[in-house]
Structure 1
Amino acid sequence: MALLAALPVLAAVWKQGPCLDEGWGGREPFWRVCYSDLAVGVQTSGADAGLLAYLSGDVPLDQPPLSGALVALIAGFAPGDGILAAQRWVLGVWAVLAVVALVAMAWWVRPTGRHRGGDPLQVALAPVAALTLLLSPDLLGVALATAGLWAWSRRHPLAAGMLLGAGFMARTYPALLLVVVALHAWRAGRERELLRVGGGALAAVAVVGLPLLLTSPETLTRSWSGWLDMPAGLGSVWYIPTLAGHAWSPSILTVLSVLGVAVAIALAALLVLGSPMSPRLGAVALLAVAVVLVTGKAFPVQSSLWLVPLVAYAGLRWRDHLVWGLAEAVHFLAVWLYLGGLQDANRSLPESWYAVALLARVGAVVFLAVRAWQVATTFPPEVGFAPDPRPSEGRSSEAQSPAAEHPSPI
């Protein structure tokens, strides 16, 4: 599995080749398709000053606190002099960590015993991973979130809460997974375990957040505080009016994004509480995260990494995975060509063509959400989980049945 997981990482490193040689400055990284927020952030924030400088607020890295701390920690040990050496060091270490993370996530989604699980190869060999692994520190939050779902399915609620809480401090979307877990716990009559999940999550947030709250509150909130005033970003359907020269105000986009979160939670609740059988947790999680992504203010390329383990967890087929991966690859090329041409109209990808690529990608993610719903509502129940005789009383009947003694379906 380690050798297989190394393949997308090697592809990601190969893609970074021109920038590893020449650096990430200027517009050329867009044309060379090797731009990386991870590398650029090291330069613009001075992350090579190290972890202590980050904790004291001297490293303005625009990342959630746990992700920023890890990047600063790695960059602080960079050998040699100069910012390019530090950038190369960070990407090299991140590539090694990426192999470890892919192997771990593949192991967490594998089927074992009563657990249906998913196809670990869809994690280890994910085409989207090759495109996104070295773009940003998102991988840390994705790995923690995946570990949290695995811990919940194996009836380790405290560990699940701590991992999802830590994931929230590395990338915001694990908070949505906590809601999905809460719905799943309510359906299964596992309220006591849910309290442990919540306690673990709060403990993890406190361990990460309190030191920064005391030393540098701005560092703690930097990546979240600007969200309210943020305009439409690349990849979002709300960016299309911007392409047409009629950008929508941040306040309108904030309302639309919040409504998207509400819709995601409502759909997850309908699926979990209204189904005659206990649905796959991975499918519900995929549905919720996909809805939030396609309705958010921004849908950057690297955010697609969030979906990789969830697609495997949900039990989707390789055909579905590859349809989505193809749309992601088209958008990946289009976004860099579009950005590279903003200052040179003669080399620019026309805005209309970028809009087509954007809509194709959003459509592919909506397709994943539809497939997740279909899998969740049609897949046979887990061994030990019988269909509820009266769906309207699903929670109470399941809570009183021996099914509650078995691990939850993933």
Structure 2
Amino acid sequence: MTSPVPDRAGPGGPTAAFAPVALLAALPVLASLWKQAPCLDRGWGGQEPFWRFCYSDLAVSTQTTGASGGLAAWLRGDVPLDHPPLTSALVSTVAGLGPGGDPLATQRWVLGVWALLSLVALVLIGWWVRDAGPRGALGAHHVVLAPVAALTLLLSPDLLGVTLATGGLWAWSRRHPALAGALLGAGFLARTYPGLLLVVVAVLAWRTGRERELVRVAAGALTAVAVVAVPLLLVRPVLLTRSWGLWADSLAGLGSVWYVPTLSGSPWSAGVLTAVAVLGVVVAVGLGALLVLGSPSVPRIGAAALVVVAVVLVTGKSFPVQASLWLVPLVALAGLRWRDHLVWALAEAVHFVAVWLYLGGLSDPDRSLPAGWYAVALLGRVAAVAWLAVRAWQSATSEDPRRI
């Protein structure tokens, strides 16, 4: 499908044309650091980080789990991070290289290093989106200028999985199936949703007659998983499955539409929520397959991926603010326009403020955001993500995607 804006290279070549876009990647990183300034100064303890909108699970978990012990401590099982194994290993490694001793100094070190890694990751993601997306450099701007990135980059280490997932989609679009499988397989061990993208790739391969390449995709994915999983199975198998076990036993989390019953005092059980979330995955995969196989022309991989991931997010057991980062490159790869992006970003910003006011007020009812108002912000955000999926579907099925 031809891009309506074929601006992939300028007079100075692809690298020179991309340089301004790469420089813009510093803006969301700097905005994230500015937002973290009060906590970088005073720490992340108590309720004050909620009121100052600088709470960071990345910083807090570094202290509460003893991640400063480093990778060796994590391999011994002494660092109970609740991330998938590849992400936990990276966070432990970064924390272990820090100054040690003073917990606040270690937290500052981790966030500083993560800010640098985020800059590199955003540049990579922007390059891949520019190369594989339908709008070239304009699509890359959706990544490097994303308001959601500025809000979420330093809240958690989710960006590792997002980077690997985007690289996998780029590799598939550039006909490197083994590399696509390896990146998506590694992404699955960093953040679970890239496993869904492997399904999207498989269905697209069936639609486009590239079924034979799936053998190399599978080989790449299995190799990447084995490189991480086999050593862990030999050393400490629980490290491989810990995050998924915690997910299965968890109740509805903040941001999830299923948290609304909790707000009304009638929370659903973990078993029911797990069943609903699994059903959501089935529905998401089914809708993705229907989109790919039923569209008049082959849809963009980003559009199909956005539909699948968005449905999983809005039907999942939890939908923390940082999970919205998953959607940033998919919005660009789907070819959506800035008006849709900004509508979604506004809903995310309203929810971002609301969730911290709600949490901060749990210890002080006089300052609390009422549960009803938090529910409004939560549902508005869920509706905005659903709207992105609708727009991606319309883009994929439209005879003239330039009008979408």
Judged with a 3 Å threshold, the aligned counterparts in structure 2 of structure 1 residues 102 and 379 are, in CA distance, closer, same or farther, namely farther
Aligned pairs (5 A) from 1:315-330? 315-330=335-350
SS in structure 2 at match of 1:11 = helix
2:372 corresponds, among 336, 341, 352, to: 352
- Give the aligned partner of residue 123 of structure 1: 143
SS in structure 1 at match of 2:188 = helix
Q: Deviations over 1:267-300 (max 9, x none)?
A: 1111111112111110000000000000000000
Alpha carbons 1:50, 1:76 under 8 Å: kept? yes
- Give the fraction of aligned pairs with identical amino acids, expressed as a percent: 72
Aligned pairs (5 A) from 1:384-399? none
- Paired with 1:370 and 1:104, the residues of 2 have a C-alpha distance of 27
CA shift for structure 1 position 226 = 1.6
Alignment gaps of 5+ in structure 2: 1-20
Q: Does 1:153 align with 2:173?
A: yes
CA shift for structure 1 position 3 = 2.0
- Give the aligned partner of residue 33 of structure 2: 13
- Give the aligned partner of residue 209 of structure 2: 189
Alpha carbons 1:277, 1:381 under 8 Å: kept? no
- Give the aligned partner of residue 47 of structure 1: 67
1:64 corresponds, among 78, 81, 84, to: 84
- Paired with 1:255 and 1:291, the residues of 2 have a C-alpha distance of 15
- Give the aligned partner of residue 311 of structure 2: 291
Alpha carbons 2:82, 2:246 under 8 Å: kept? no
Aligned pairs (5 A) from 1:81-96? 81-96=101-116
- Paired with 1:180 and 1:116, the residues of 2 have a C-alpha distance of 21
Aligned pairs (5 A) from 1:11-410? 11-79=31-99, 81-111=101-131, 119-378=139-398, 380=400
- Give the aligned partner of residue 404 of structure 1: none
Runs of 4+ in 1 over 4 A off after TM superposition: 114-118, 379-382
| Matched positions, count | 381
- Paired with 2:248 and 2:63, the residues of 1 have a C-alpha distance of 26
Alpha carbons 1:57, 1:215 under 8 Å: kept? no
SS in structure 2 at match of 1:25 = coil
Alignment gaps of 5+ in structure 1: 383-410
CA shift for structure 1 position 381 = 8.7
Does 1 or 2 have the higher relative contact order (CA < 8 Å, sep 6+)? 1
Alpha carbons 1:35, 1:135 under 8 Å: kept? yes
Q: Which shows bigger deviation, 269-278 or 75-84? A: 75-84
SS in structure 2 at match of 1:258 = helix
Q: Which amino acid aligns with 2:57?
A: D
- Paired with 1:101 and 1:226, the residues of 2 have a C-alpha distance of 28
SS in structure 2 at match of 1:50 = helix
CA shift for structure 1 position 115 = 6.1
CA shift for structure 1 position 242 = 0.4
- Paired with 1:253 and 1:60, the residues of 2 have a C-alpha distance of 24
CA shift for structure 1 position 83 = 0.9
- Paired with 1:306 and 1:115, the residues of 2 have a C-alpha distance of 19
Q: Deviations over 1:62-84 (max 9, x none)?
A: 11100011111111111253111
Alpha carbons 2:331, 2:341 under 8 Å: kept? yes
- Paired with 2:360 and 2:114, the residues of 1 have a C-alpha distance of 25
Q: TM-score, normalised by structure 2?
A: 0.92
CA shift for structure 1 position 240 = 0.2
CA shift for structure 1 position 189 = 1.3
Alpha carbons 1:169, 1:205 under 8 Å: kept? yes
| RMSD of aligned alpha carbons | 1.5
- Paired with 2:104 and 2:82, the residues of 1 have a C-alpha distance of 19
SS in structure 2 at match of 1:228 = helix
Q: TM-score, normalised by structure 1?
A: 0.91
Q: Which shows bigger deviation, 353-362 or 184-193? A: 184-193
